[in-house]
């Protein structure tokens, strides 16, 4: 049986893989995507209904151009699919602690977010504790020294809808999708890469592995020591006081003095 030939094979079709497959197909690349499950699914880090998105990403400046471009892509996808993907409800980032400052000597997350917003010219507001309480009464318990960053252009995306939209468009653009098959081996030669699953072997000029933590099982050393699959349990709570939430509530990130005092969430 002849081995199918592609320019690129994308292994794993979660948030990263679906976006990679779609962008390659959009550029006219002969591309195939393969996933051990049937995305969107509940077996990877892209599972769930909501993910916070904001342009001033306090984790580091390298993410900011990617986040800005991603929000543009969500709007492009919405226009093509006629489906809501990006809810622009704003994002409120706060440091609320009796001892303000970063953990273990690290820069304060909110201060870092503010610095990035100024550096990249991102629309935002700086709020003190009184202003936060006035505009967002659900956060009345914050400490008097709290510092807030509000980004009106942020909000949240629907990850599973985004994956489905990009896979649908990639298929329409000629991409080959293979689901329900686990990649067992990736073998590279000077000219090509062979991707082997339970039912087939595929040849490509390049392979992009987007399997997240599952990559450790596939790629072996050194990834088997660097990556491990972990389960994250998420909780949804019924609101004890729903009336304190304004009609237009933002997604939020609260940084306290420790990991135990740090949380994030979404509008009800």
Quick: pLDDT tens for 15-42: 999 999 999 999 999 999 999 999 999 9
Question: What's this model's pTM, rounded to 2 decimal places?
Answer: 0.92
Distance CA 16, CA 18 (A): 6
What is the DSSP annotation of 141-179? TS-TT-EEEEETT-EEE-HHHHHHHHHHHHHHTT-EEEE
* 21: its two tokens: 């497959």
Using only C-alpha atoms, the chain has a radius of gyration, in whole angstroms, of: 21
Check whether 103 has a pLDDT greater than 70: no
Q: In 3D, which of 138, 98, 171 has the Cα closest to residue 268?
A: 138
Element (H, E) at 111: helix 109-120
Tell me the range of 101-105, 180-184, 243-247 where mean pLDDT is highest: 180-184
More confident residue, 218 or 178: 178
Specify the long-range contacts of residues 198-202, CB closer than 8 Å, at least 24 apart: 200/4, 201/3, 202/3, 202/4, 202/6, 202/9, 202/32, 202/34
Q: SS3 for 226?
A: helix
Domains of the chain: 5-49+159-226 (3.50.50.60), 89-154+234-265 (3.30.9.10)
Check whether 107 has a pLDDT greater than 70: no
pLDDT for the residue 260: 80
What tens digit of pLDDT does each residue of 206-229 get? 999 999 888 888 898 898 889 888
Residues 6+ apart with CB under 8 A from 126: 114, 147, 148, 149
Check whether 236 has a pLDDT greater than 90: no
Distance CA 141, CA 238 (A): 19
């Amino acid at each position: 049986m002849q081995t199918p030939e592609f320019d690129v094979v994308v292994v794993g079709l979660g948030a990263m893989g679906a976006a990679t497959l779609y962008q390659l197909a959009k550029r006219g690349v002969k591309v195939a995507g393969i996933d051990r499950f049937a995305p969107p699914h509940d077996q990877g880090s892209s599972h769930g209904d909501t993910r916070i998105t904001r342009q001033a990403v306090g984790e580091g400046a390298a993410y900011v151009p990617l986040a800005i471009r991603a929000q543009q892509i969500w709007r492009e996808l919405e226009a093509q699919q006629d489906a809501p993907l990006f809810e622009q409800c704003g994002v409120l980032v706060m440091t609320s602690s009796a001892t303000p400052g970063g953990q273990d000597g690290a820069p304060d997350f909110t201060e870092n977010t503010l610095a990035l917003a100024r550096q990249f010219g991102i629309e935002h507001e700086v709020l003190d504790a009184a202003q936060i309480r006035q505009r967002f009464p659900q956060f009345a318990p914050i400490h008097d020294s709290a510092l807030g960053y509000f980004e009106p252009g942020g909000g949240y995306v629907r990850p599973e809808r985004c994956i489905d939209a990009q896979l649908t468009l990639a298929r329409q653009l000629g991409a080959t999708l293979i689901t329900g098959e686990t990649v067992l081996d990736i073998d590279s030669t000077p000219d090509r890469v062979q991707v082997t699953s339970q039912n087939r072997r595929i040849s490509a000029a390049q392979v992009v592995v987007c399997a997240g933590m599952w990559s450790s099982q596939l790629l072996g050393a050194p990834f088997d020591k660097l990556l491990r699959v972990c389960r994250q349990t998420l909780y949804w709570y019924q609101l004890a006081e729903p009336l304190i939430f304004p009609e237009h509530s933002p997604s939020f990130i609260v940084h306290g003095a420790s990991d135990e005092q740090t949380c994030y969430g979404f509008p009800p």
